[in-house]
Structure 1
Amino acid sequence: DANLRKLCKSLAPTSVRVLFNPLFSQNSKGQTTKKAGNTKMDCNTHDMTVKLWEQFYEFIKYVGWQLSIDFTNIHRTPTNEWDSANAQAFLDYAQKNEIPIPDFQFGNEPNSYASNYGLDTQSPSQTVIDLQNYHTLLSHYPPYKYSTVVGPETTRPTSSTKYFNDFLASGGCNVVDEISFHQYYRNNDRDHPTYHDFLNVSIMDLLVDQFTMARKLMAGNNCNKAIRLGESSSVSGGLDNVADRFVAGFLWLDKLGQCALHAITRVYRFNVWGGSYSLLNRTFLPNPDYYLTLLYKRLVEGYTFNASSNAPYIRAYANCAKPQGYKLGALVVYMVNVKDEPVTINLPQFSGQAVDVYWFTSGGEDVLSLAIRLNDVLMDSSGKNDISFTPKSIQDSIEMPALSYGFIVIPEANVEKCRDQPPTTTPRSRALVTKHYEFSRSTGAALEM
């Protein structure tokens, strides 16, 4: 599909996570330990054939995405060791065909194997041993022996806290290059979420609490590794007619801001297509989060700065602006306004300077619309035309619409850290700096502080 290729290519550079789950391999001779009484396991899915992989990889090469391969430790030998036969078969093929793989993940929520697959959960110490064997396996493949290895890919640091801590206490920090876990704000089965959760700053703060908990556990185990989100979205299991609508962008942009602020190296959005929280719909056309993601990638790069607000319903973050779109020294502020009132934004450090604003609002009657507007102009969702984002230039008061999210770029900010950053600085190499920017706002239309 030409439109699909174009839409995915626009997101490059990026990395795509490919999960190899040998539990669902019909031809494998390894063993699994099935937990009696659980009916969630479905072994009727199909193997990834060589032909199917070749088609997939040709697509990945065309759109310019990198691969991040994730093997799980679900499949066990009769002596309860990780059965690496599937991994070896793939690595043999990948090495022979000179497939670059800079990044390997290991695990897929190992603390939840019982609830997800009906299997006995492997202990954290056993997962550490499995990762040691994983490194040994990769060392036999020259193209991949120095690739990054991340894990343990547990669920968010709440119910998984004990598993996560025991993994670190068992030496887990020494067998991974980065610590990774999955993050969803709500669970569809347990929390019964609604669209109101996407506008709730207390829900947004759950991510902050989870980062704080992860750092605390890591510090307690002398682990000074970087953190990434190996899988992440809004609601685990999805939320039909909500998680793919305009309202989803509030949690998504706030998550990107919090990840930048907490020096999270990578955020793997689940998922590109399929399910009820994807960037593209089932016919491969853009959902609202696609436009938000694409504009974020076009504007945001480099150093992260602290930004403060004087109202809880406004969330503000700041980074250097991408030099491909603006000159070095430019600053980009991105914000969400979860209140049903417009606000006036004041930038006291840059008073009198012209700014470019990019405000996203619902393209329909409410926040549950599948359509999205940029600066009051409806975005083209046909997928046939190149997507462009035209800013609105403002030099006086900046008004942020009610129930909106978006970006303010200050082209002449001349921020030293942004002026001196190399043009190739990528979003995942952000460093925290101490510069603090304050943004004030007032409720109501066109009010001044």
Structure 2
Amino acid sequence: MGMNAVFMRFTAAWFLLVFHGPYVRPELFEKFYLEPVNLDVDTGRVVKRVNERFLSVAIDASLVAEEKFVYLLASPKLKTLSSALSPGFLRFGGTKQDFMTFNPRTYHQEYPRNSYGYLGDTCKRLTLPPLLEENLKKQWALQTLLLQQEELKGTYKNVRFTEYAVDLLHSFANCTGLDLIFGLNALLRTKGNSWNSQNAKMLLDYCESRQYNMSWELGNEPNSYQKKAGFRVDGYQLGLDFDHLRKILSKSKLYKSSGLYGPDISQPRDHRRDLLEGFLESGAEAINACTWHHYYVNGRDTSLEDFLDPDVLDMLATKTQEVLETVDLVSPGKRVWLGETSSAYGGGALGLSDTFAAGFMWLDKLGLGAKLGLDVVIRQVLIGSGTYHLVDNNLDPLPDYWLSVLYKKLVGPEVLNASVLSTLGPRRRLRVYCHCTNKKSANYKRGAFTLFALNLSKSTAKINLPSHLANSSAEAFVLEAPEAGEQGLLSRSVKLNGLVLKMVDDQTLPELQGVPLHTGDPLSLPGFSFAFYVLSQAQAAACH
């Protein structure tokens, strides 16, 4: 760089400091400093391989706080949206699961059993009439407010659910191609503080009688039992509880080989690491994967800046490494899942967690989580209370839903090593990840790979491909806010290559098509956007 250019940039930076003061936001500098960056990608080997159901989703157990709301799962629109997220796990759990008991043979008279839900029903019969759907959606909007108040107060009502809720959950999972994981109540305890399995056995017997293939969890965030229920369960006892459940499952013809996942602790802090170690000592052999929960920030005191801050995004790596080290120390080789995760805890951040801005946290978590070695990431929540859902109370898709569908379409389980050659200064705000292209759902040749990138800067980023890839055909799927500025980032809609995404009708998604790029040109990523780039003729050895 010549001295004149250096002087001009110094002058520009000085001008900003003089007229905007010392607290100028970094993005203002970046329009002067952001230059094309060179991409380094190793296409010769796979560094990690994640589960084909890596991106999975949850239905919050709060949906069953009143059982009539489970009927929303019979909505044609919700089934259409959920089917596009297959293959994946469908976790039914959360805080409310530890306050739920199975109470068979009691049904809502308002909704007769013979209308929906039998195992033998076809998916077409599992359809909610439009008038009933509209009525339930209005009631659900009010119900979510009550559930949020319950969360704020930290007092949780006990709930009973019937066979019908189980029928609908299983039918929904079965009809959408998702694999159901059902969360059992771990707060049912004996006088000796071991798990009381009587109610769970009743539920298991019912599910087996209907031949419902499903997996299981036991308890949600046991580190918070003191706060939620007034007593503690230490890690070693929790492991014994899981071992007890595994023995019950092993006596079942249907469930002897079914998945069991836990302990679903919150991210490492204070005694939580000790709880995890104790759990693994006694319960590691009982589980198929070790699960923990991660949220970046407190939903009640966060800001838009947090959602765009690379330091906040990097916190995932620190916490993940702590969990991986703990698991590897006690139970080497055990798979680790993010069993519940989103942007902000406490039900999400109002006006942020369901907007376009939330996509930066979500996409970075998918990229970084796979690179670090997490096997599955379960998004809180497909539908449920709070503001971090993929589908709103009207069952319309939010920006993170469209991002998730594109990820499913374009990203395969094989992780490649990719980075920009400099991560200093403003370039830290450009984050890149690379996988082999999904061979099952995308019409691309073997050897194709998908680069996905996030631009946390105000300015357009230019990415130069390595010389041996510069002539490969590339296709771009660029996701942007529908309008410029902060209001656009806070929008509940998203543009794909310039067009706002919306359903064609309640049973049809739009075609998510990429735009061909000129061979040899740098990849262009607008400010405050994220994108997937498919290099269809890359001939990546790792992706054959």
TM range (shorter): 0.7 to 0.9
Task: Look up the equivalent residue of 2:470 and give its one-letter code.
Answer: S
Answer yes or no: is the 8 Å Cα contact 2:459–2:527 preserved in 1: yes
1:205 and 2:324 correspond: no
Q: Deviations over 1:318-356 (max 9, x none)?
A: 100012421111000011100011011111131122200
Give the equivalent residue in structure 1 for 2:447.
329
Does the aligned pair in 1 maintain the 2:239–2:278 contact within 8 Å?
A: no
Q: Does 1:93 align with 2:93?
A: no
* Paired position in structure 2 for 1:182: 293
Cα contact 1:198–1:248 (8 A) shared by 2: yes
**Alpha-carbon separation, structure 2, partners of 1:23 and 1:14:** 26
Q: Give the structure 1 partner of residue 499 of structure 2.
A: 377
| Number of the residue aligned with 1:152 | 263
**Secondary structure of 1:12's aligned partner:** coil
Cα displacement string for residues 17-48 of structure 1 (whole angstroms, at most 9, x for unaligned residues): 123835333969xxxxxxxxx9622225x422
The equivalent residue for 1:359 is 478
Code of the aligned partner of 1:261? K
**What residue in structure 1 maps to residue 37 of structure 2?**
none
The SS at the match of 1:211 is: helix
Q: What is the rounded CA distance, in whole Å, between the counterparts of 2:172 and 2:445 in structure 1?
A: 33
- Call closer, same or farther: CA 1:41–1:55 in 2, change over 3 Å: same
Gap runs ≥5 in structure 2: 1-74, 105-151
Aligned mates of 2:282, 2:102 — CA distance in 1 = 34
- Which whole-Å CA distance do the structure 1 matches of 2:153 and 2:538 have between them? 58
Matched, 1:303 2:414: yes
Instruction: Choose from 488, 513, 517 the match for 1:390.
Output: 513
The more displaced of 67-76 and 286-295 is 67-76
Asked if structure 2 preserves the Cα contact closer than 8 Å seen for 1:364 and 1:372, the reply is no
How far, CA to CA, are the matches of 1:380 and 1:150 in structure 2?
Answer: 35
The percentage of counterpart residues that share the same residue type is: 28
- 1:268-279 aligned at under 5 Å gives the runs 268-274=378-384, 275-279=386-390
Residue type at the aligned position of 1:408:
Y
Structure 2 length as normaliser, TM-score? 0.71
For residue 341 of structure 2, what is the aligned residue in structure 1?
Answer: 232
- Partner letter of residue 352 of structure 1? N
Secondary structure of residue in 1 paired with 2:406: helix
Determine the C-alpha separation between the residues in 2 that align with 1:7 and 1:403. Answer: 26
The Cα of 1:222 is off from its aligned counterpart by: 4.8
State how far apart, in whole Å, the 2-side matches of 1:90 and 1:321 are. Answer: 40
The DSSP-based 3-state class of the residue aligned with 1:220 is: helix
Cα distance, 1:142 vs structure 2: 1.3
Moved more, 340-349 or 241-250: 340-349
Distance 1:209-1:266 versus aligned 2 partners, 3 A rule: same
The question of whether the paired residues in 1 share the 8 Å contact of 2:102 and 2:199 is answered with: no
* Deviation per residue, 1:206-249 (Å, 9 max, x gap): 11001111122223335331100111111012111110000000
Q: How far is the alpha carbon of 1:205 from its aligned partner?
A: 0.7
Task: Give the CA deviation at 1:357.
Answer: 0.7
Q: Conserved in 2, the CA contact under 8 Å of 1:22 and 1:86? A: no
Q: List aligned pairs for 1:2-401, cutoff 5 A.
A: 2-19=76-93, 21-25=97-101, 40-44=154-158, 46-101=159-214, 103-115=215-227, 117-159=228-270, 160-168=272-280, 170-189=281-300, 192-237=301-346, 238-274=348-384, 275-309=386-420, 310=422, 311-323=427-439, 324-325=441-442, 326-348=444-466, 349-365=468-484, 366-380=488-502, 384=506, 385-394=508-517, 395=519, 396-401=521-526
Please give the alpha-carbon distance, in whole angstroms, between the structure 1 residues aligned to 2:243 and 2:453.
42
Q: Which has the higher helix share?
A: 2
Alignment match, 1:433 = none
The CA distance in 1 between the partners of 2:166 and 2:185, in whole Å, is 18
Q: Is the 8 A contact 1:342 1:401 kept in 2?
A: yes
Q: Is the 8 A contact 1:286 1:383 kept in 2?
A: no
TM-aligned CA distance change 1:417 to 1:80, over 3 Å: same
Distance (whole Å) between structure 1 residues aligned to residue 327 and residue 170 of structure 2? 36
Pairs aligned (count): 404
If the length of structure 1 is used for normalisation, what is the TM-score?
Answer: 0.86
Q: Deviations over 1:128-160 (max 9, x none)?
A: 111111111111211111112221110012342
Amino acid at match of 1:257: G
Greater CA deviation, 378-387 or 349-358?
A: 378-387
1:382 positional shift:
6.4
Rg (Cα) greater in structure: 2
Matched-pair contact (CA < 8 Å) for 1:7–1:383: no
Stretches (4+) displaced over 6 A: none
Q: Are positions 1:408 and 2:533 aligned together?
A: yes
Q: 1:100 to 1:194 in 2, by over 3 A?
A: same
User: Once the 2 structures are TM-superposed, how far is the Cα of residue 256 of structure 1 from its aligned partner?
Assistant: 0.4
Residues 302 and 418 in structure 1, CA contact (< 8 A), matched pair in contact too: no
Provide, for residues 91-144 of structure 1, a one-character-per-residue CA deviation record: whole Å limited to 9, x for no partner.
10111100011x3222211011122x1321201111011111111111121111
Distance 1:226 1:52, change over 3 A: closer
Q: What residue identity is the alignment partner of 1:97?
A: R
Aligned to 1:59, the other structure's residue is in SS state helix
Whether contact under 8 Å (2:383, 2:391) holds in the other structure is yes
Taking the aligned partners of 1:271 and 1:51, their CA distance within structure 2 comes to: 22
Shift in Å at residue 166 of structure 1? 3.1
Partners of 1:273 and 1:364 in 2: how far apart? Answer: 27
